[in-house]
Chains A and B, each alone.
Chain A
Amino acid sequence: MIDGIAIYVLWLREMTRFLRAKSRVIGTLAMPLFFMAFLGFGFSRAQLPNLPPGVDYIRFLVPGIVGMTLLFSSTFSGISVLWDREFGFLKEIMVAPVSRVSIVLGRIAGGATTSLIQGVAILLLSIPLGFGVPGVAAVLLAALVMILISVIFIGLGLVFASNMRDIHGFNMITNFVVFPIFLLSGALFPVGNLPAPVQAFAWIDPLTYGVDALRAALLGTSTFPLPVDLALLLLSSFIMVSLAAFFFERCQC
């Protein structure tokens, strides 16, 4: 049922393409980097309620921007199945003698690796901006969280891709799904500053727990205990992967 070789081949394809598309990688890193630099400097002296004690804004912001990087790269990686369909390559994969679940897992393995690379890159780029990385163990823990975040949102991207006919709905998803997930997650400001009815949406946003877990790992301070965050992220990953496999299997693409 689960074909290791097929997963490896799809992962390898993703890596080959990623390493070849250097300009595209730089392009995708530019937006989070700008967010980090401009918001970080621009709001460095602003008084923001509900910041954890002893944490300045740039340090608060960096884990949020890492989460944002992962959210965007992962969702788009999942949705990029649509481009494969558009350019015909998906058919080649669909007629290969491998299970649909393996195809979904291969896609997730590839997307999660490229997202992780981008998340770590943003983390490294934050160091010159004044972000102190606490140590190897903390970064490894953060990497684990990054992988979970990636899996969740690649799954989400795949769910969308499996239910869309073509790439025309792509902007709608960016504007009405991806951006709200980002803005609700507490990546830019503490969720506690949102009005109570809006906060309710933040608590059903998996990225909220992802960003909170990244802050726990990198800053040592978080809204929820780290095990709670991790448990919720694991649960969300499991749900999203199952949904992605279900919809991908069902769609005749």
Chain B
Amino acid sequence: MDAAITVENLTRQFGSLTAVDAISFTVEGGELFALLGPNGAGKTTILNMLITLLPPTSGTARVAGFDIVREKDAVRRHIGIVFQEPALDKDLTGKENLDFHAMMYGIPRAERARRIAGVLELVELTEKRDVLVQNYSGGMKRRLEIARGLIHHPSVLFLDEPTLGLDAQTRRRIWEYIRRMNREEGVSIILTTHYMEEADYLAGRVAIIDRGRIVAMGTPPELKDILGGDVITLGLEGDAGGFVRLLAGIPWVKGAREHDGEVSVTVEMGERRVPDLVALGLAHGVPVRSVLLRKPSLEDVFLHFTGRTIREREVSANESRKELITRRMLR
């Protein structure tokens, strides 16, 4: 199958800020691909360029075989989009929203009725089809948008933070729909998320994005293997920085870094190394208060490549954004 998306050196600048910095990647046909990263990393900017809403500053991309700048209409005809914020007409019913969408894509009447019934069935909104969208819950709106994104049988479906702000139960259901669409309809899916468990659970391949660049890309197991072992997080009393430097000199420690006032240590067969670490802390005057042993998650991968957790990165991104706004106001 041909590539669903090919991106080459795609760059977008806003004034002096480089939101997306020369990224390149390929999404194969039928693949479920995730862009994982903190808010403000540039995921939505990448998406907006791929769906033809935002012209790139430089670089090229092809979606469903068409150039995103020179063949906008062809790209638009072949993609479906579920936006981060609902893009529904609240004064219309669910069915009317779907109907108008299908008409826009030139689907004839009989076919329209058949497909609408089908997608409503898929997202379990058949009974609510004649209710005004303003009376839908957040989860129902998202499901309706997913249904709408599928009506015109796109070859590539874009999902921007598909479960943002949804409760755990609804998130699970949305995940199931996404998987089912990918498997049964064979549609290539690219989604952005800052929930690592979402990327881990759904995606065949993940690109980890930080500050407009791809810092790592691969299947979730491949990415976790990069860390080379389990992660032990230690809560310490005393000089954590000194302890990290000490650990760096120990042969069985694959990596150690300090974050959030704790120390994460990567080792093989972590459960056997916990006593050693506790003893080491005691011997060097930094008693261990707490121990957490985990098999590595994508969060750890993010930490490994950027030196910070996704949450820390989001806080600092917010700070710099606030700074920018303040500076603008002072001008």
Contact = CB atoms under 8 A, between A and B. Distances in A.
Interface of A: 5-6, 8-9, 12-13, 16-17, 20-21, 87-99, 252
A5 B89 contact: no
B130 interface: no
Interface of B: 51-54, 73-74, 76-77, 79, 81, 83, 85-92, 96, 100-101, 103-106, 148
Nearest to A92: B87
B52 A13 contact: no
Contacts of B54: 252
B100 A89 contact: no
B52 A95 contact: yes
Contacts of B100: 9, 12-13
A95 B154 CA distance: 13
Contacts of A13: 89, 92, 100
Nearest to B80: A95
B227 to A, nearest CB: 38
Given A9-B103, A95-B76, A97-B77, 6 more contacts: A5-B106, A16-B91, A88-B85, A91-B53, A92-B148, A94-B53
Contacts of A88: 83, 85-88
A96 B53 contact: no
A96 B148 CA distance: 12
16 contacts: A9-B103, A9-B104, A12-B100, A12-B103, A16-B92, A17-B91, A21-B91, A88-B88, A90-B87, A93-B104, A95-B51, A96-B76, A97-B73, A97-B104, A98-B104, A252-B54
A148 B127 CA distance: 43
B157 to A, nearest CB: 12
Contacts of A5: 103-104, 106
Given A9-B100, A96-B105, A97-B105, A91 B76 contact: no
A134 B74 CA distance: 53
Contacts of A90: 87
Contacts of A17: 89, 91-92
B53 A252 contact: yes
A247 to B, nearest CB: 17
A90 B89 CA distance: 9
Contact of A91 (B73, B83, B90, B103): B83
Nearest to B85: A88
Nearest to B91: A17
Contacts of A20: 91
A92 B52 CA distance: 12
Contacts of B85: 88
